[in-house]
Structure 1
Amino acid sequence: MTFIPKRQIYLPHVLKHTSFHQNFCFSTSISTHQSFQKLDNQPKYFFAFPTRKCNNGLMIFQKDSGNFQWICASFFSSSPIQSTDKQQIFKKSCFGRMSVTKHLPRPKPPWRVLFFGTDNFSLRMLKTLNENRLSQGKGRLVDTLEVVAIKANKKGSEVPVRRYAEEQGLRVLDWQPKLHPLTYDVGVLASFGFLIPSKVIDMFPYGILNVHPSLLPRWRGASPIEHTILYGDTETGISIMEIRPKHFDIGPILLQKQYSIPDRVTAPELRQIMAERGCNVMMEALSNLPELERRVVEQSEIGVTYAHKISRHASYVDWENQTYQCIDRQHRALHEIEALKTVFNKTKINLLDPCDFDVLNADSSVEEAVQRRFNSPSSEVPPGSLFYSKPHKLLLVKCRDGWTGFGSVIIRKRQSAMDFYCGYLQKNLEPRFQSLDNGIQFNLDLMTPRVLHSQTMPLKVREGCYTDLKVGHGS
């Protein structure tokens, strides 16, 4: 590897161009499948002009004894480049730094892969890549595999991806790694949690691919699985997208597949399902990477929602504003993080062992028990009111449109619904749970699943977007 010291070299004095074209099919994160041109008086050099994807990159190849050397060159403009004339571009531009290597990006698999990951979702991806690397069949897509992983998470616990990589004898790099151009062909990222800077992304000819468990641009961010359940989506998907610096999940889509969500699925169950499906879609993308990289579709500006990191306060129940279906989704989405919580007589209570709320509200005996306890129908009982139902052995709590039921609670210690009734409810004539704002906006815009092919979308946005197979990349 040879590095040229940082200095300014004005392009008109170094490179000249002619109208002679030769096409070479190399995929890069900066300039993809461009026409490389010979230079006057410099027969060994070829260059590609910057594209609309990236206006601050220039890729150069050097021909030497029939082989091509890869020269990664970046330039910056002394003034905004608005002209499409090549001479004008050169007059306004100069080199910043250049690095030279004899390693070429591969035009087809098997690839040299660098994997970025942390948790069990990304661990499933890493296992799939490693199993493919060790295989000897024609479907081998991974030649070499190395891993970038932090040493421990915020709680000090061991990172699953790092542990597995070390057990398998894979080379592990700490975050942030110092990489050299073209050591790897492509990066693969899943549930990493860190923004990747441009200097790292530019080290990969095919860029870094992110395996995201949602139908982007819906649920960009840290917790798409939880938000998918929380807001009642009936469909989800896997999106393979290119990483972009500075923001999460904004890059163009290479491949996207859509799946139906099982009824009453929990976040851990859906995460496992999407991890398996994500592996399949990821391997399909790697098998067809040069073709997918040639065609790019930017994410639509319609239907963008954000799946911000879930806070512990989100597990509190707002009895006045949430329906029993909202509370059911809240439990299924968040119980892995925190149990549903409420406040009784200024004391925090964890609500455990919820029943099936749909079955509960369809039971006519519940309304009979409400009439005996409150001498009024359920519609007149204030939200947050509660009582113990002996036939159901449940603590029943009124919400906005019906009843929820819990088999046990934690108030200082875990106890059954009957024990809670005997110890606390008998002492209160009109016991009520307090409604607390949990920060979850249960509104129709977010609760209603996004229509993938809505007739209200503009035609140019609607066509080619959110298909259930490959996304059209529209050249």
Structure 2
Amino acid sequence: MYKNYQIIFFGTPEFAVPTLKALIKAGFIDIKFVVTQPDKPVGRHHSKLVPSPIKKESQKAGIDVVDDITKIDPTGADLGILVAYGKIIPKKLINSFPKGILNLHPSLLPKYRGSSPIQVAILNQDDETGVTIMQLDDEMDHGPIITQEKVKLDKTETAGDLHDKLAKIGADLFIKILPDYIAGKIKPKEQDHAKASFTEKLTKQVGKINWKKSKTEIEAHVRAMNPWPGAWTTYKNKKLIIWKMSKDGTPKEVQLEGKKRMPYSEFLKGNKGFNINDFS
């Protein structure tokens, strides 16, 4: 019934890959092309250009890729689907799609709008989080909600673990709701904007451990900052990243600047004067 329904996909990082893969396999839509961010310069002299995960996945599937949003032509597309594209979509472009653009966000909106909802849910030791599929509008994570799915948190997951879990749940949820959305059977629900909360962009500085906090809060911080930027402190004028920590505040895996990750017991063998309690 929905064969040849035309969409344009917007996405850039790994978080968007499960949704793109699911859409490719779905069978009831065709992806006209994919919009992603330009290849990123990496290396010591920024001499090497690396394509985004979405560009790599699109090319494997033989789908055309565009990296300049100002040059796309949405003519003939019925719907846009956006997952972590990373740039603001102009209102004129949003309105050019008959069914609008649907956006996947890794929180239960209106809670945790912004760029770091996964980390903040762990930092705040929430009992649950989830994903929201919403209609995109011209404000950040502000549009009407199409559907949500809750996920229980067991207080052991890292941001990396939760990232992967929510990406998969979001992808499955898209495939579940798209036929009804396309058929006009789902009525979007306005967010309660008075209950909105916001998250900030992660930086390396955010990873710095505040030793004045409780052991429980620090352990949550360690999980929230894994894999990036890493929960860190300084030891002998070098950055020491704590990758894993037990609930009692004892590190389990660490990495001193310039060294490889190692078990905390191995680190202590080479740093006999080190005592984690000296930081508190």
Distance 1:271 1:292, change over 3 A: farther
Give 1:412 shift.
5.4
Paired residue for 1:277? 169
Paired residue for 1:117? 11
Q: 2 CA distance for matches of 1:150 and 1:341?
A: 30
Query: What amino acid maps onto 1:421 in structure 2?
Result: K
Paired residue for 2:40? 153
Paired residue for 1:416? 267
Distance 1:290 1:335, change over 3 A: closer
Q: 2 CA distance for matches of 1:411 and 1:209?
A: 42
Distance 1:336 1:292, change over 3 A: farther
My pick for the range that moved more, 302-311 or 207-216, is 302-311
Query: What amino acid maps onto 1:237 in structure 2?
Result: G
Paired residue for 2:45? none
2:196 to 275, 284, 304: 304
Give 1:248 shift.
1.6
Q: 2 CA distance for matches of 1:168 and 1:123?
A: 12
Distance 1:260 1:353, change over 3 A: closer
Distance 1:276 1:413, change over 3 A: closer
Paired residue for 2:227? 336
Tell whether 2:106 aligns with 1:260. no
Secondary structure (helix, strand or coil) at the match of 2:190 reads coil
Give 1:344 shift.
4.0
Deviations along 1:126-159, one digit per CA (max 9) or x if unpaired, are 1111112xxxxxxx32134421112313644320
Paired residue for 1:350? 240
Q: 1 CA distance for matches of 2:107 and 2:83?
A: 12
Give 1:182 shift.
4.3
Deviations along 1:156-187, one digit per CA (max 9) or x if unpaired, are 43201111112221121222144456410000
Give 1:408 shift.
4.3
Asked if the contact 1:186/1:205 (under 8 Å) is kept, the reply is yes
**In terms of Rg, which structure is larger?**
1
Paired residue for 1:405? 251
Give 1:407 shift.
5.1
Asked if the contact 2:180/2:186 (under 8 Å) is kept, the reply is no
My pick for the range that moved more, 308-317 or 173-182, is 173-182
Tell whether 2:205 aligns with 1:313. yes
Query: What amino acid maps onto 1:271 in structure 2?
Result: H
Q: 2 CA distance for matches of 1:297 and 1:254?
A: 7
RMSD of the alignment, in Å? Answer: 2.5
Distance 1:124 1:200, change over 3 A: same
Asked if the contact 1:209/1:240 (under 8 Å) is kept, the reply is yes
Give 1:317 shift.
1.2
Give 1:262 shift.
3.5
1:204 to 84, 94, 97: 97
Query: What amino acid maps onto 1:338 in structure 2?
Result: P
Structure 1 segment 203-242 matched on structure 2, within 5 A: 203-242=96-135
Distance 1:316 1:109, change over 3 A: same
Whichever structure has more helix as a proportion of its residues is 2
Q: 2 CA distance for matches of 1:242 and 1:158?
A: 28
Asked if the contact 1:179/1:200 (under 8 Å) is kept, the reply is no
Structure 1 segment 417-456 matched on structure 2, within 5 A: 417-422=268-273, 432-433=278-279
Q: 1 CA distance for matches of 2:147 and 2:8?
A: 20
Deviations along 1:309-336, one digit per CA (max 9) or x if unpaired, are 111111111111x111111111111121
Distance 1:408 1:159, change over 3 A: closer
Paired residue for 1:129? 23
Aligned residues: 268
Q: 1 CA distance for matches of 2:258 and 2:73?
A: 56
Give 1:339 shift.
2.8
Asked if the contact 1:339/1:350 (under 8 Å) is kept, the reply is no
Q: TM-score, normalised by structure 2?
A: 0.85
Query: What amino acid maps onto 1:410 in structure 2?
Result: L
Give 1:242 shift.
0.8
Secondary structure (helix, strand or coil) at the match of 2:156 reads coil
**Runs of 4+ in structure 1 displaced over 4 angstroms?**
107-110, 179-182, 290-294, 406-409, 411-415
2:216 to 318, 325, 339: 325
Give 1:405 shift.
3.2
Secondary structure (helix, strand or coil) at the match of 1:162 reads helix
My pick for the range that moved more, 210-219 or 177-186, is 177-186
Query: What amino acid maps onto 1:161 in structure 2?
Result: I
Asked if the contact 1:266/1:333 (under 8 Å) is kept, the reply is yes
Asked if the contact 2:33/2:65 (under 8 Å) is kept, the reply is yes
Give 1:198 shift.
1.3
Q: 1 CA distance for matches of 2:82 and 2:55?
A: 14
Asked if the contact 1:409/1:420 (under 8 Å) is kept, the reply is no
Query: What amino acid maps onto 1:224 in structure 2?
Result: P
Give 1:338 shift.
2.6
Secondary structure (helix, strand or coil) at the match of 2:150 reads strand
Asked if the contact 1:215/1:237 (under 8 Å) is kept, the reply is yes
